[in-house]
Structure 1
């Protein structure tokens, strides 16, 4: 069980999962913490120095009078509380909002400018709401479909490259050795390895396993994963296996199989056996299940 300090820290980072959120609400000072957080969001205090304030008050203090000692300590305590509150406010106002999805989970996110993001399974998205008016920027790890409201430049930053638009619809997938951007509406700029290309509707940029793949025309108006299906065009089996694990809570092992073999096809997100058959049959493979563990093998 996570202790109180760890729960509060994750709460300040906006990073509590469902179970941790329940535990946080059971804390004795939960109401006080949430009230303080709500107050601090609208709190803008001038710069305050305990030491400077004390030097200003010191000439007026009369050490020989015991009454001065009675209110000096409370005064310093109040000053310390204000300083701590100001520090917490500055800290929380600079925090990014982070949204995470688990295996087999998707989430719809509304950004401050009414842009929307559909976050695919096992992915994360972060942005800073306080600086959003001047800097429309999100960080993505995983896969997401964006509908961007028209306005100033909008950047999606990944470890593989940056996607830049003004207002459009596009999909970004960034996983291990896999970076793919598809434009569905408007124009999309993709910066990768210090080079920038522009995608028109239906065009895709794909850099997979260190290779730039041919740009094939995409006729769909949205990615298939939004409708419960993952699709691939000449993609190595290892990436297909990774996506199955993202959509189902299973582990997958391979037995004497070349996972660099290319797969073209799709699998459903709501039926594990059907998904496995959709992938294994075209490649002349078979599978066996033991609990949440799956073994892929040759026929």
Structure 2
């Protein structure tokens, strides 16, 4: 069958479907749907004031097919998002009972309806995952993916920085830039270079990676600008860094109610000072 004609409108829907099968193998999906749409738009033949019963049956069948297709696509692409705003943290419970602790200004998105068939979580920011035993899913970020089974791990994925630390179980990390893959176990960490290459650290204190979840800041040889950025996110306050400092900061402290206590700890050792602006933002610059 090469095309649909007027006679096809008076056929039983089941017969029409049978005729469509060989046509589908020779035509693209776009061509098939275009002809179906044309048939839907074409008026049914009438005998006096009576509409052809076969045309009416076909229209009902076609409507059901389109409705089912719309529902299928709608549920497949449905997404639920959980966000932690600046200065806040959130905990999300996934459909299988796994939990995600979101750090400030982080978010995840997943499809709860299709979770049983496609366990994928899209992450932007930082989060600590605790996965139910025997449950497998993949965490997707712009530059890397992490696949796990019954484990706990921390992912830091902000801008071009990507770090994964394994606390329990096994974690597979893939760089989307280089397609490199690595499997890490407890107290191991991977991070990506600027080119997307995987850098592996086989001996870390994994618990330090989740210190943020307990109200602590922990930094080891971290550039000052990144330290200030993390303080900005955790307190939900704008920090404008004009110091251009290239120093590396190492230290740990609790998140106090007053952000100025944290800024003093970080800035003073490097000869920097902070100033609160009328807008509520903080300006960081070199001390005179």
Provide TM-score, normalisation by structure 1.
Answer: 0.68
Q: Counterpart in 2 of 1:94?
A: 76
Distance, in Å, in 2 between the alignment partners of 1:287 and 1:221 is 27
Q: Counterpart in 1 of 2:19?
A: none
Q: Matches of residues 102-251 of structure 1 in structure 2 within 5 Å?
A: 102-151=85-134, 153-192=136-175, 193-207=178-192, 212=199, 214-218=201-205, 220=207, 223-251=210-238
Q: Counterpart in 2 of 1:26?
A: none
- Change in Cα spacing, 1:51 to 1:289, as seen in structure 2 (3 Å) is same
Post-superposition Cα deviations, 1:88-125, rounded to whole Å, max 9, x if no partner, equal: 53343022222222111211111111111111111121
Distance, in Å, in 1 between the alignment partners of 2:40 and 2:281 is 65
Shift of 1:226: 0.8
Aligned residues: 243
Distance, in Å, in 1 between the alignment partners of 2:134 and 2:146 is 15
Distance, in Å, in 2 between the alignment partners of 1:221 and 1:149 is 22
Shift of 1:265: 1.9
Asked if the contact 2:171–2:184 (Cα under 8 Å) also holds between the matched residues in 1, the reply is: yes
Distance, in Å, in 1 between the alignment partners of 2:167 and 2:145 is 17
Asked if the contact 1:150–1:168 (Cα under 8 Å) also holds between the matched residues in 2, the reply is: yes
Provide TM-score, normalisation by structure 2.
Answer: 0.71
2:283 to 261, 276, 295: 295
Shift of 1:150: 2.3
- Change in Cα spacing, 1:208 to 1:261, as seen in structure 2 (3 Å) is farther
Distance, in Å, in 2 between the alignment partners of 1:153 and 1:146 is 12
Shift of 1:130: 2.9
Aligned partner of residue 198 in structure 1, secondary structure = strand
Q: Counterpart in 1 of 2:14?
A: none
Distance, in Å, in 2 between the alignment partners of 1:231 and 1:208 is 21
Q: Matches of residues 1-40 of structure 1 in structure 2 within 5 Å?
A: none
1:273 to 225, 250, 260: 260
Structure 1: stretches of 5+ with no match in the other structure: 1-48, 69-75
Distance, in Å, in 2 between the alignment partners of 1:131 and 1:188 is 23
Shift of 1:135: 2.4
Shift of 1:236: 1.3
Distance, in Å, in 2 between the alignment partners of 1:208 and 1:241 is 21
Shift of 1:214: 4.9
Distance, in Å, in 2 between the alignment partners of 1:249 and 1:140 is 20
Asked if the contact 1:179–1:207 (Cα under 8 Å) also holds between the matched residues in 2, the reply is: yes
Aligned partner of residue 105 in structure 1, secondary structure = coil
Q: Counterpart in 2 of 1:263?
A: 249
Distance, in Å, in 1 between the alignment partners of 2:131 and 2:111 is 16
Distance, in Å, in 2 between the alignment partners of 1:216 and 1:238 is 26
Distance, in Å, in 1 between the alignment partners of 2:200 and 2:270 is 21
Shift of 1:215: 4.8
Asked if the contact 1:206–1:215 (Cα under 8 Å) also holds between the matched residues in 2, the reply is: no
Structure 2: stretches of 5+ with no match in the other structure: 1-35, 52-58
2:241 to 236, 254, 260: 254
Shift of 1:248: 2.4
Asked if the contact 2:75–2:114 (Cα under 8 Å) also holds between the matched residues in 1, the reply is: no
